[in-house]
Amino acid sequence: MMLFSPRVSVVIPTYNRKDFLRETLNSLAQQTYPSDHFEVIVVDDGSTDGTKEIGAEMFPFTLRYFWQTNQGDAAARNVGAQQSGADILVFLDDDILIESDYLTYLVCEHEKDQTRIVVGTANPWPVETTVLSQTVSAPLASTSNHATVELAFTDVCSNCMSLRREAYFKVGMMQSLGFPGSSMWCDVDFAYRAYRLGFKFRRCTKAMYWHRDYVVCSLDRYTNRIRTAAYRAVVLFQKYPELFQYLPMFYDKTPISWSQDPLYLITRKLVRYLASTSAALWSMEQIVNALEKYYPKSTLLPILYRYIIGGYTYQGYREGIHEFGQGGGQE
């Protein structure tokens, strides 16, 4: 344990996940970091499932509960940061479980460099591990011998992000793109602003957590999420046109520029168009349904998942262009 233990505020935005939230809080109750040196700030984004009852429950740490009308998780994180007086902010989502030394390892990294934005390292959630979840989820726990590894700003996730409190306000807090519900892309937006200010990004390989993301267990739910995210990405690129180059997943989903695109890119975009039609996606989904039922370990499944996900990304992105006009990376 370090000689001096900085004050830490763990900020958790939540919405209608009372039972999951309680389990997240229980994992925080097992921390090796001194319980009198960290608090947990739960910001309830308008829940109707009785989440407020958790605010009266007893934990070994100080629990502070705030309620707001439904404004999205970006606004909830900002409320939590504003209510904190701690040295370090640790953001968690209400479906995250952390290992007992999670906070200790994160704080140690911030003691080494005050310009760092540090995230934890995901472990697989064994109960819900499927071929689909393995295909689409973030990399599993690192086997690196180093305490941290360098991270691109585009890989920073707000569900496990930590930084100095003053840094959070210096970067400009979270900024929603103006959509209701989950504030998709707010972490990329935030990290890009931090990147331009010279912040460094690290993944702490010893700060382990489990993300119980039920969406990655269903192809329908996951493609609905990715389609919505792609739709909203158009607004992100309108805000930061130069950001397009850092997100190659959209590279072949923009309209063809016959005068500027090289032949290989024109070909790639045409193939993507054909593979993203409703008929093509329906056909691939029928094959997936059969494989999941009769050959669940087929090596063809991850390939088809990627094509289907790419197809719905294409559809969502084109819907966004139709709705909002063209964004970065497009002529």
Please work out, in degrees rounded to the nearest 5, the angle formed at the alpha carbon of residue 79 by the alpha carbons of 153 and 176.
50
pLDDT of residue 1: 47
- Strand-pair partners of 44: 14, 67
Mean pLDDT throughout 204-209?
A: 95
pLDDT in tens, 22-50: 999 999 999 999 999 999 999 999 999 99
pLDDT at position 130 is 80
pLDDT at 127: 58
Q: Which residues pair with 204 in a beta bridge?
A: 148
Q: What is the mean pLDDT of residues 215-229?
A: 93
Quote the percentage of the chain above a pLDDT of 90. Answer: 83
Rounded Cα–Cα distance for residues 99 and 27 (Å): 7
Q: Does domain 8-214 have CATH number 3.40.50.720?
A: no
CA of residue 26 relative to chain centroid, distance: 22
Selected residue with higher pLDDT from 140 and 77:
77
259: tokens are 């005068």
Hunting for tokens 């009308």 — which residue is that? 69
Q: What is the mean pLDDT of the chain?
A: 92
pTM: 0.93
The answer, yes or no, to whether residue 120 has pLDDT greater than 60, is: yes
CB 189 within 8 A of CB 236: yes
pLDDT at 328 over 90: no
Tokens of 130: 């499927």
How many Cα atoms sit within 13 Å of 55 on the Cβ side?
15
For residue 60, which of 37, 87, 78 has the smallest C-alpha distance? 37
Rounded Cα distance between 238 and 185, Å, is 13
More confident call, 331 vs 176: 176
**Model confidence pLDDT, tens digit, residues 74-116:** 999 999 999 999 999 999 999 999 999 999 999 999 998 889 9
Helix axes 300-324, 219-239, angle to 10 degrees: 40
Q: How far is it, in rounded angstroms, from Cα 31 to Cα 298?
A: 40
pLDDT at 215: 87
- Which H helix or E strand runs over 5? none
DSSP 208-265: EEEE--GGGG-HHHHHHHHHHHHHHHHHHHHH-GGGGGG-GGGTTSSPP-TTTS-HHH
Least confident stretch, 87-101, 157-171, 211-225: 211-225
Res. 125: pLDDT tops 80? no
User: Could you tell me the two tokens for 128?
Assistant: 């819900």
Residues in the chain: 331
Distance CA 270, CA 264 (A): 10
| Pairing between β-strand 8-14 and β-strand 88-91 as defined by DSSP bridges | parallel
The residue extents of the domains of the chain are 8-214, 218-324
| The pLDDT value given to residue 104 | 97
Q: What is the pLDDT of residue 139?
A: 55
- Give the residue, 3 or 219, on which the prediction is more confident: 219
Residue type, 225: R
| Amino acid at residue number 71 | Q
pLDDT of residue 210: 93
Q: Which residue has the tokens 């290992």?
A: 99
pLDDT at 140 > cutoff 60: no
**270 φψ region: left (φ > 0), alpha (ψ -120 to 50), beta (else):** alpha
